Structure 1
Amino acid sequence: MPVILDDAEKYRGQTFDGVPILPMARMADHPHARFLCLVGSEKSYHARPEIIARTGLEPDRFATFVHPAAEVSGQALIGHGSVLYSGALVTSNGQIGEHVLIMPRAVVHHDVTIGSFSIIGAGVIIAGGAQLGECCYVGSGSAIRNGVAIGAGALIGMGSVVVKDVAPGEVVAGNPARTLRPAPR
């Protein structure tokens, strides 16, 4: 049985697609549960690795959640703890790291690698062969050109069109995307 961990008061007693949301202090009450970590926004995405490490759980204690309306190629690999929402599509040879969130209607083309702890916003298109490092945030409606490399910790602003490589930790936005500043820490 999967369980979502979230310490926010507003989620106490709530469920997500039928999965109960519990505070982290209640993990021990569920020794056979498998967990999901849904924490992440453009302001908090860097905290995901620390939050997951703080649980002290082994990787196999994290559920991988693929919504029934998401599509994943049989040749794609999805890491522990990753979540693919309704309408997400991962095509052949996609490699999705651990604890990656892929929001509704995002499309991950062939041979794309997405590093662990990254967040891919709704409606994002990542073209073939693109490589995203760990702990990246790609804002909703963005497009990443084929073969582009996005460095670890980078933030891509909403609706951006990324046509060239992005250095680790950079914040880029626009069409074409340009560097605005180093990513927040």
Structure 2
Amino acid sequence: MEVLGVFDDDAAKWGGRLLGVPVLGGLDLAPEYADRGRFILAIGNNDHRARLAERFARFDWATAVHPAAYVHPSARLRAGVVVFAGAVVQPETVVGAHSIVNTGTTVDHDCEVGSYVHLAPGVHLAGGVAVGSRAMLGVGASVIPGVRIGEGAIVGAGSVVLRDVSPGETVVGMPAKPLQKE
């Protein structure tokens, strides 16, 4: 996939290059390019990514899979999904719109990943895991088979999830437990 340019609201970057790709200007210019190709949202924050996808809903959203990633033919990746190098997405998995499957992440068979989810580098989802929309799983987190991660939940880096996580809940540790609020 050829990348024609990127948009960034930081005016200091306009006219420059990002990883060899021209920075075309701010996001307000994006609609001028709506008929010139497909788009990808490369923003890590789930809520920001969701707001932009909704703002530019009429765009043709590409799904990007790095050549060094593996996605089984029966897996379904929705519009705007990005799968990074070394990631593996196994059979019968569904990954929702505008989700990120980051470097070295493994998603086993029959998982359901909601929209606007971020699976950080090295996450492992065992078979049959369900991850609600806008959830964030930190670097190296692991989830055992059949567990449900609620919408908007956060799983801390390196955590091992052995039981369901409620919507909006933050869990950390090994085994993962709710974060104590001070």
TM-score by structure 1 length?
Answer: 0.86
How far apart are residue 8 of structure 1 and its match?
Answer: 3.9
Judged with a 3 Å threshold, the aligned counterparts in structure 2 of structure 1 residues 10 and 127 are, in CA distance, closer, same or farther, namely: farther
- Counterpart for residue 37 of structure 2: 33
How far apart are residue 181 of structure 1 and its match?
Answer: 5.7
C-alpha deviations, 1:86-120, integer Å up to 9, x for none? Answer: 00100000100100011100000000010000000
C-alpha deviations, 1:65-93, integer Å up to 9, x for none? Answer: 10000100001000100100000100000
C-alpha deviations, 1:107-147, integer Å up to 9, x for none? Answer: 00000010000000001100000000101100011101110
- Asked which structure has the greater CA Rg, the reply is 2
For 1:48, give the aligned amino acid. R
Moved more, 6-15 or 68-77: 6-15
SS at match of 1:169: coil
- Counterpart for residue 72 of structure 2: 73
Judged with a 3 Å threshold, the aligned counterparts in structure 2 of structure 1 residues 26 and 130 are, in CA distance, closer, same or farther, namely: same
* Conservation of the 8 A alpha-carbon contact between 1:171 and 1:181: no
Q: How big is the alpha-carbon RMSD for the aligned residues of Structure 1 and Structure 2?
A: 2.0
Mind listing any 5+ residue stretches in structure 1 that lack a counterpart? none
Q: Give the structure with the higher percent strand.
A: 1
- Counterpart for residue 7 of structure 1: 9
Q: Aligned partners of 2:173, 2:115: CA distance in 1, in Å? A: 25
Write out aligned runs for 1:114-129 (5 A): 114-129=113-128
- Counterpart for residue 162 of structure 2: 163
- Number of residue pairs the alignment of both structures matches: 176
For 1:24, give the aligned amino acid. L
Mind listing any 5+ residue stretches in structure 2 that lack a counterpart? none
Q: Percent identity?
A: 35
How far apart are residue 28 of structure 1 and its match?
Answer: 2.9
Write out aligned runs for 1:23-172 (5 A): 23-30=26-33, 31-40=35-44, 44-58=45-59, 61-172=60-171
